[in-house]
């Protein structure tokens, strides 16, 4: 006759981390839109819609896309212990493993400028990255 006793213990721990950053677009509409600044005018991920003119006058002008971020990471640890006692003897085993995953997403939203005329008067630097404008004259 043989008899045995077995104990098997599994432990799993998962840690999830999330980070999210979202931008909120501004929307300005009217007959004419005029933006004057002593230093910098920044239009980022925003909508400007004028029936006639958009006028920007500044030392530096930045027309940029906004950026939304979503980062997610997961860390899983798995541990196992197995003990067996029987008439033929004693055995024990242990194992552990770890897995990690990371997901990073970025979404850009362009600035949207619509008008019959778009006039940008910049004294130093004009930066345009991420802009949508219909097929109209830009000066």
CA 18 to chain centre: 11
Confidence of residue 130 (pLDDT cuts 50, 70, 90): confident
Provide the number of structural domains found in the chain: 1
**What is the pTM (predicted TM-score) of this model?**
0.65
Three-state DSSP at 68 gives: strand
CB 114 within 8 A of CB 94: no
Is there a domain that residue 109 lies in? yes
Q: What is the DSSP string of 5-24?
A: EEEEEEEEEEEEEEEEE---
Is there a domain that residue 138 lies in? no
Residues of the domain holding 71: 4-132
Is there a domain that residue 53 lies in? yes
Is there a domain that residue 71 lies in? yes
CB 92 within 8 A of CB 71: no
Confidence of residue 11 (pLDDT cuts 50, 70, 90): very high
pLDDT tens, 63-74?
A: 999 999 999 999
Is there a domain that residue 87 lies in? yes
Is there a domain that residue 8 lies in? yes
pLDDT tens, 116-129?
A: 999 999 999 999 99
Is there a domain that residue 137 lies in? no
CA 82 to chain centre: 43
């Amino acid at each position: 006759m043989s008899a045995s006793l077995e104990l098997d213990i599994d432990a799993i721990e998962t840690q999830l981390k999330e980070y999210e950053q979202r931008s909120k677009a501004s929307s300005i509409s009217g007959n004419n839109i005029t933006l004057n600044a002593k230093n910098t005018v920044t239009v980022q991920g925003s909508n400007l819609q004028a029936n006639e003119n958009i006028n920007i006058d500044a030392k530096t002008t930045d027309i940029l896309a906004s950026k939304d971020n979503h980062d997610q990471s997961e860390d899983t640890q798995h541990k196992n212990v197995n003990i067996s006692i029987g008439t033929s003897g004693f055995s024990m085993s242990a194992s552990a493993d770890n897995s990690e995953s990371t997901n990073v997403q970025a979404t850009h939203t362009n600035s949207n400028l619509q008008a019959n005329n778009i006039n940008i008067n910049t004294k130093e630097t004009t930066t345009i990255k991420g802009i949508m404008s219909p097929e109209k004259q830009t000066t």
